[in-house]
């Protein structure tokens, strides 16, 4: 791919951060990581480069979302999820440090495909009568899974949704609670992405930091697209139905996930 194509693909992925933080399109942010992995991978960077570049952008997007949804959440969910999230982030950092680039691509691709499948079947799964009362018995395993999937691909959306949707929360409270949970998950990850064992000689840290001077420069380059995406998401919420847009996004997410899983030769399409 040319540098222009790489940056355009990555820019599209970053825009989805803002769109999802504005509450448009549900789990659109799930597309960001696989799209950026494909884009930056074409430029010769490992998948952890994309993962490290995206986290500061997600943290910036969280600030916008927190402002809009301030106190419009069920904070009690944190006490059920966060203990498991901390364990999951610890485990995810150890695992991603041991995976090869190919194995990391495979994991991110499978998460992207699983996300699309989840979106297609979630209404059927959660059609049961009655509201689910959150508890530690379910919350801790969900937290562990959220921490691991978020470390690999910033892809905790389906797991968090499986915990929150059965609670039958009002839409605004559901979105606000999701914002609150993801903010905590992202900020818990931040020190583990910035530090490694060469800086802090503790086994809980990865052998190699995922946020480096190179990824930070890339994050700063794309940072203006986050508020642009938020503004665009607010505008789209007012003007358009999500249905057709989401179908296109889910198709793109599914195809991007398949690309990471099967490693098709895309170079011939961009020559």
| Percent of the chain residues topping a pLDDT of 70 | 83
| Percent of the chain residues topping a pLDDT of 90 | 27
Give the pTM: 0.82
pLDDT recorded at residue 269:
46
121-135 average pLDDT score: 69
37-60 pLDDT, tens digit each: 988 988 889 998 999 999 999 999
pLDDT recorded at residue 205:
63
pLDDT recorded at residue 194:
87
Q: Which residue has the higher pLDDT, 153 or 129?
A: 153
pLDDT recorded at residue 125:
65
224-264 pLDDT, tens digit each: 999 898 888 777 766 766 666 667 667 777 887 788 888 76
Q: How confident is the model at residue 185 (pLDDT cuts 50, 70, 90)?
A: very high
**Winning range, highest mean pLDDT, from 23-32, 81-90, 242-251:** 81-90
15-31 average pLDDT score: 75
Q: Contact at 8 Å (CB) between 113 and 258?
A: yes
- Average pLDDT of the chain? 82
158-172 pLDDT, tens digit each: 888 888 888 888 878
């Amino acid at each position: 791919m040319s540098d222009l194509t790489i940056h355009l693909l990555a820019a599209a992925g970053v825009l989805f951060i803002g769109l999802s933080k504005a509450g448009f399109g549900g789990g659109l942010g799930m597309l960001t990581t696989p799209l950026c992995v494909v884009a930056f991978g074409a430029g010769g960077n490992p998948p952890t480069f994309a993962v490290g570049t995206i986290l500061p952008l997600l943290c910036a997007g969280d600030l916008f979302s927190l402002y809009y949804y301030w106190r419009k959440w069920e904070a009690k969910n944190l006490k059920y999820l966060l203990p498991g999230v901390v364990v999951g982030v610890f485990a995810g950092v150890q695992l991603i440090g041991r995976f090869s680039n190919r194995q990391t691509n495979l994991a991110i691709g499978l998460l992207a495909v699983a996300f699309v499948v989840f979106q297609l079947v979630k209404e059927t799964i959660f059609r049961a009568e009655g509201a689910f009362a959150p508890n530690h018995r379910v919350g801790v395993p969900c937290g562990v899974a959220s921490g691991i999937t978020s470390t690999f691909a910033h892809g905790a959306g389906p797991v968090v949704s499986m915990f929150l949707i059965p609670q039958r929360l009002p839409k605004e409270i559901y979105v606000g609670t999701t914002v609150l949970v993801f903010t905590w998950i992202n900020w818990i990850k931040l020190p583990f992405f910035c530090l490694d064992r060469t800086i802090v000689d503790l086994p809980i840290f990865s052998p190699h930091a995922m946020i480096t001077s190179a990824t930070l420069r890339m994050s700063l380059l794309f940072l203006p697209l986050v508020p642009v995406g938020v503004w665009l998401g607010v505008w789209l919420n007012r003007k358009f139905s999500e249905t057709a847009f989401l179908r296109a996004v889910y198709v793109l997410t599914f195809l991007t996930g398949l690309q990471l899983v099967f490693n098709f030769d895309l170079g011939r399409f961009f020559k």
